[in-house]
Amino acid sequence: MSSSTDSLPPALAKIVQRFQRASDPKRRYEQLIWYAQKLPEFPEADKIPENKVPGCVSQVYVTATLDDGKVKFQGDSDSQLTKGLVALLIEGLNGSSPTEIVHLAPDFIQATGLNVSLTPSRANGFYNIFKTMQKKALECKLEQ
């Protein structure tokens, strides 16, 4: 199964492997809650329509800045599980270049096993959060 993680940024590959070891859906949810609790505070001032993730049932916000050629994401959600998904993606993608993020295929989502643990609307939300982060990374790249 590790071949699917070879092309991922190292931090994201580590997260995928961590979730692969958690075969129990309850354990995966616990990991998501753990990620949610680790997520730094999101500035209220950034909770604006431009930063809202479209297509999510929960309120989800993501920002991206470029620091020395590397993307730094921040995010938040009003749902603990969704916040965990945001946190997982932030931890996995922070420090990558905009090009790496834009060219990343979303199939790592299946490799985590979360797509079978999550409800269809949450799995779709996870994908929408990822696509929004790719869009924000591209915007950072274009502003260089």
pLDDT per residue as tens digits for the range 84-141: 999 999 999 999 999 999 999 999 988 898 888 888 888 889 999 999 999 999 999 8
**What's the chain's length in residues?**
144
Q: What is the DSSP letter of 51?
A: G
Residue among 13, 16, 32, 56 flagged as catalytic: 56
CA distances from 107 to 8, 11, 79 (A): 10, 16, 24
Q: Annotated catalytic, 56?
A: yes
- The domains found in the chain, sorted by start residue, are 7-143 (3.90.1010.10)
- Summarised one tens digit per residue, pLDDT across range 32-61 is 999 999 999 999 999 999 999 998 889 999
Place of tokens 């993680």: 5
Has residue 64 got a pLDDT over 60? yes
Q: What value does the mean pLDDT of the chain take?
A: 91
CA distances from 123 to 68, 109, 140 (A): 32, 9, 26
Phi, psi of 52, rounded to the nearest 5 degrees: -80, 135
Q: What is the pTM of this model?
A: 0.92
